[in-house]
Structure 1
Amino acid sequence: MPDLADRARTLLDLHAAPEILVLANVWDVVSARVVAGTDGVRALATASHSIAATFGYEDGERIPLDLHLDMVARIAAAVDLPVSMDVEAGYGDPGETARRAIGAGAVGGNLEDGMRPLDEAVAAVEAVLAAGRDAGIGFVLIARTDALLRADAGADRTEVLTEAVRRGRAYLEAGAPVVFVPGAVEREEIAVLAEAFGPGRLSVIAVPGRSPSVRELEELGVARVSTGPNTQRVALTALQDATAELLAGGALPPSTRTLN
């Protein structure tokens, strides 16, 4: 059994390091092994959307928690790196879900606020952190606010950012080490969030065709960039393209590597 406390400390240090932490999200054992075997990878993160899709479920806690946790446990057992789990909104009991995630081998995790009343969202953060303490580890909670993601198309962006900052700071004050703000893709907005939260505190998701490059994100002060379901979509795009090429009379890409 790996020392989860050591892995948790390593994961926290990676977020606080001057270099940006890049996490290509994984969804099963083979994707985890391929990513973990890539030079420079220092930690793994799962994607709830991708795990759910693997089993034929829609995202949003529609996959049974037992099935979700079973895949996370398989991933954690298959690699020698810290693993962070996307626990979504906590499946109705964030503290208990975090406890079970730790039991599955995860030492960190994303927790979305779903724009619940702030006091409820803060209480959920505190419950997850308490679960980590009870388990003897410093669970690396990535407190996610959906302020940008759920904002109306015509909403005043200054007001939306102000709400994201208000919520993010509340989660930091409650003890969360990092705040995740999906929907932050504009350089100016990312810079505002990074400055508001401070060094080593902001996590964003890489969106194809919209997000700045990893190098640019690092320059803007982002601590962590993950990919969510987009790495699975990269893999599926390659699969569909290869299938179409075969059906058109072509061949498999000569650059294909034996990774499994």
Structure 2
Amino acid sequence: MTDMQQAKFERFRAMHWDKGAFVMPNPWDAGTARILTQMGFQALATTSAGYAFSVGKRDSHAGLTRAEILENARQIVEATHLPVSADLEDGFGFAPELCAETVELAVGVGLVGGSIEDATGHPHAPIYETMLAAERVAAAADATRGKPFLLTARAENFLWGRHDLKDTIERLQAYSEAGAHVLYAPGLSDINDIRTLCREVDKPVNVVMGLVGPTFTVSELAEAGVKRISVGGSFARAALGALMRAADEVLEHGTFRYAKDAARASTLTEMMSDAKATDRT
């Protein structure tokens, strides 16, 4: 841990208690981290989906190793002066002590936050039983004590077809009691459900926008009680969508009109590091 990491953490923590809501977008590599930093955001979060797509893998519990996720996070941390939180999936293991170990490793790569979810990755039993899920959060929270790290607990019901708001709220309440600092239920698509959830929990709430379905403005979400807004893998999918449209134009029409909407090379060059390679062999 460094003084810089501590300062990033204190700034990140304060954002969760400031007035209104803030957007925390999700870069998937160092380059996109530099772009989003210079565009004026206050904090960043990693995306396992965006990173998986960038290295030709599926976004799944079995698709990426913990070492890969943390190395990607390290590269993003080193590319920005902003606080960075990480998608730590299910903590990379069933046992609570593995969640704790993952948090300790996340602190070690310079992250000042991260999320642990209650999804198992198994289609026939997709969500951990509430008591075990809370024990996993408690172990992760214990690992943050005395460290510059904000723990987010995720209730994944709505991403797995379990549209049970009551159970989702009860889970988040249990995770809050277990020591989570931020609460997150991805997949909520009704503003009244979001408002109810924010009213029924005692910690700052994160929501994700950019998924398929209804979207709301930053001001609408802030009015509902949301504190933090992430975009998950949707920026990565937007970028890949532009790539696919450009490729389709060339293949189907033999034209290159897509280039007029492309970012200028000079603009991107200014946003990137000017560090020189010390060994080019």
Same fold (TM over 0.5): yes
**Does 1:176 pair with 2:180?**
yes
Poorly superposed stretches of 4+, deviation over 6 Å: none
Check conservation: 2:205, 2:227, Cα contact below 8 A.
Answer: yes
Check conservation: 1:129, 1:139, Cα contact below 8 A.
Answer: no
Q: What's the CA shift for 1:244?
A: 2.7
Aligned residue-pair number: 250
Alignment RMSD:
1.7
**Does 1:167 pair with 2:163?**
no
CA distances 1:68-94 after superposition (whole Å, capped 9, x unpaired): 211111110111011001000000111
**Does 1:103 pair with 2:126?**
no
Of 63-72 and 87-96, the range deviating more from structure 2:
63-72
Query: Which runs of 5 or more residues in structure 1 are unaligned?
Result: none
Work out the CA distance in 1 between the residues paired with 2:241 and 2:128: 35
**Does 1:139 pair with 2:149?**
yes
Identity of aligned residues (%): 32
Q: What's the CA shift for 1:148?
A: 2.2
Work out the CA distance in 1 between the residues paired with 2:227 and 2:166: 20
Q: What's the CA shift for 1:17?
A: 1.6
Equivalent positions of 1:221-260 (< 5 A) are: 221-247=225-251, 248=253, 249-257=255-263, 258-260=267-269
Work out the CA distance in 2 between the residues paired with 1:209 and 1:234: 15
**Does 1:26 pair with 2:36?**
no
**Does 1:117 pair with 2:122?**
no
Structure 1 residue matching 2:194: 3-state secondary structure: helix
CA distances 1:185-228 after superposition (whole Å, capped 9, x unpaired): 11111111111114x62111102552212221111111111111
Work out the CA distance in 1 between the residues paired with 2:130 and 2:15: 28
Q: What's the CA shift for 1:100?
A: 0.8
Task: Return closer, same or farther for 1:215/1:208 CA change in 2, 3 Å cut-off.
Answer: farther
Q: What's the CA shift for 1:2?
A: 5.4
Structure 2 residue matching 1:6: 3-state secondary structure: helix
Q: TM-score, normalised by structure 1?
A: 0.90
Greater gyration radius: 2
Query: Which runs of 5 or more residues in structure 2 are unaligned?
Result: 120-126, 270-281
Task: Return closer, same or farther for 1:33/1:208 CA change in 2, 3 Å cut-off.
Answer: farther
Check conservation: 1:142, 1:177, Cα contact below 8 A.
Answer: yes
